[in-house]
Structure formats: structure tokens, C-alpha cells
Structure 1
Amino acid sequence: MAFPFFGDDKSTIARLLSTLPQTGRIEWIGQRPVRREPLVAVLEAELKTDSHMLGDHARPKAGGKRQVTLIQHESLTAVSSFLGLDAPLDPGRLRRNLAVSGLNLLALKNRQIRIGEEVILDITGECHPCSRMEEVLGPGGYNAMRGQGGLTAHIAQGGIIRVGDVVRVLESATA
């Protein structure tokens, strides 16, 4: 007896990869006004099409793949657990712009998402931890973040985003 979602059929894998009916939520927005300084939590931010988040020091080039960064909100608890901490980490310590709950972010790679009513992001790749995690989180910080670093994105359509905005996966995949 064959099971409908098991087997070697590539179309089955493609169907599984494309099935993402869940929606997420923006839990936190952070900006880095100055390089190597702590992130500042904000309730809303403006993202400029093919550019950057206003208020963030980073000025990626047009067409860049790392114009904004996202982290899985649920990863805050996982990373703190790996470090032996009792409470979830503050998202700003992990140096990502957006914390998103309710969606498995790794499943969004090479997809488009809409945040709120205006903003569309092309999810471009994984945001691997850097050596600064040892400095920010202490010994073992880099390894605690491995697999939990989040994603990078290109701003396909800018606009205003707010904490609490819904995050939806768009049907069409990016190239």
C-alpha cells in the first residue's frame, strides 16, 4: 500500500515544499542605528524597496540579498536553553531586524512573504551566526546559534511594518 506523501516522486517533494498554509506574526522589530552598538526595539519601521530599513545603519547595495534579517521567535527560547539560561533571550542580542513567530522560517527559503499590507520580502538565504555571538552571548554562543541564525531577505516592495503584523507566504516562489 502506498502512502500519498512518501516515495521517490519529485512532484511529491515539490508539493510538500510548497505547502505552507500557516501565517506568522511580527513579534519584534530592531534597528541598528550605529555599527556594533545595541539594537533599538521599535514598534514600527519603514522598509525601502530594494534598499534598507530606515533607521538602520546598514546600507546594502541595490539588489543585495541581505537588506533585512529575520529570526524565528521560537529560537530565542531554544538558544537560551542551549546556553543554560532560564529565560528566552532578548531578540536584540541576536542582531536580527525582525523576530517572527508561528512560521518555520527555514521553510521560507527562496520564497516571498508579505508583512502586513504593503511589504514583500524575497527570502534569500540563511543568516549564519558570526563570531560576535561569543562576545554577545558568552562562551558557546556561536554554537548555540548554529541552525538558529534565521534568514536574510531582499526588500522586493517597501512600506511600513508594525509589531503584530501578519506574515503570509506568497504563492509564487522567487528565483
Structure 2
Amino acid sequence: MSAVEAAMIDTDAGLIGDHYASRAGARQVTLIQAESLRSIASHLGRSNVAAFDLRRNIVTEGINLMALKDRQFRIGEAVLQTTGECHPCSRMEDVLGVGGYNAVRGFGGITARVVRGGSIRIGDAIEALAVEG
């Protein structure tokens, strides 16, 4: 995994260049809050935890991702649809050490599918789209 300044998101492939690209369905893209990474680190007595450790694609800051439940949202040119929470897996104990699984519970972020592809960049705002109905 590597950090990039910009990326392309596609409706068929998800995040272009991702190891899991071309995975259709509800988990094309994963997002986590920078604030959650700090909380997880705090619970583990560590100075930091990287998004890489949790295998999340996009790190956000200043937005409660859980407020996007059942919503579409825009990042840059792309539109995504929240599909659920991104729960920890048993690998968290191996990656983060004892207590890793429980430290991530409730802080794992969200999963999303791509509704409209496009370019995203570091610093792009996340905009919740109006609920139709």
C-alpha cells in the first residue's frame, strides 16, 4: 500500500490501482476518519496507527462518516454510496497486537460502492448529497 496525492475511482473497478480493484459490490472503497485512527492508537497506547494497518483506502478528517449512512456523497469528481460499516477482522490482533480487534471496534470506518467514477485528490471536500424522496 502507498499514499498518493490523487486517484481515479471507477464504477467497475473501484479504486484504480488498489489490490482489490475490480471487486464488484458493496466494498469497492473503504474510508476511515483520521480522528478514528488517533482513537485506535490511544486505546492501544501507541503514538499512531496508519490507515495501511487497517487496509483502508481513504482517510478523511472533519466529517463523521457514520452520518453518511444510507447516503450518497461526493469526493472530488466521484460519487459514492455508503454500504455499511467496515468492521475489524481477526487480523487486527496480528497487525496491531493484543487488543487490536477491540480497539478498532466502532472505529473501523465505512464501506462504499462507486456510483459515478472520477478523480479524487487530497484535500477534496466530502459533500453529502440530498436524499431523494
> TM-score interval w.r.t. the shorter chain?
over 0.9
TM-aligned CA deviation for residue 88 of structure 1: 2.6
TM-aligned CA deviation for residue 119 of structure 1: 0.4
CA–CA distance in 2 between the matches of 1:82 and 1:133?
Answer: 13
TM-aligned CA deviation for residue 173 of structure 1: 5.6
Q: Which runs of 5+ in 2 are unaligned?
A: none
TM-score, normalised to structure 1's length?
A: 0.72
Write out per-residue CA displacement over residues 32-75 of structure 1, whole angstroms, 9 at most, x where no aligned residue.
xxxxxxx21111111012431111121212xx111000011100
The aligned residue for residue 32 of structure 2 is 71
The aligned residue for residue 18 of structure 1 is none
The aligned residue for residue 41 of structure 1 is 3
The aligned residue for residue 13 of structure 1 is none
CA contact (8 A) 1:52 1:155 kept: yes
Please provide the CA RMSD for this pair: 1.4
Look at both structures and tell me which one has the larger radius of gyration over its CA atoms. Answer: 1
After TM superposition, list the pairs within 5 Å mapping 1:78-97 onto structure 2.
78-85=39-46, 87-97=47-57
- Relative contact order, higher structure (CA 8 A, sep 6+): 2
Q: Which runs of 5+ in 1 are unaligned?
A: 1-38
The aligned residue for residue 57 of structure 1 is 19
Identity of aligned residues (%): 54
Which consecutive segments of 4 or more residues in structure 1 shift more than 3 A?
Answer: none
Distance change (3 Å), C-alpha of 1:72 and 1:110: same
For residue 88 of structure 2, the aligned residue among 125, 129, 134 is 129
CA–CA distance in 1 between the matches of 2:132 and 2:79?
Answer: 12
Q: Which one-letter code corresponds to 2:73 in the other structure?
A: I
What is the count of residue pairs matched by the alignment? 132
Write out per-residue CA displacement over residues 77-118 of structure 1, whole angstroms, 9 at most, x where no aligned residue.
100000011x232221111000111111111111011002x1
For residue 66 of structure 2, the aligned residue among 106, 119, 124 is 106
The aligned residue for residue 101 of structure 2 is 142
CA contact (8 A) 1:60 1:66 kept: yes
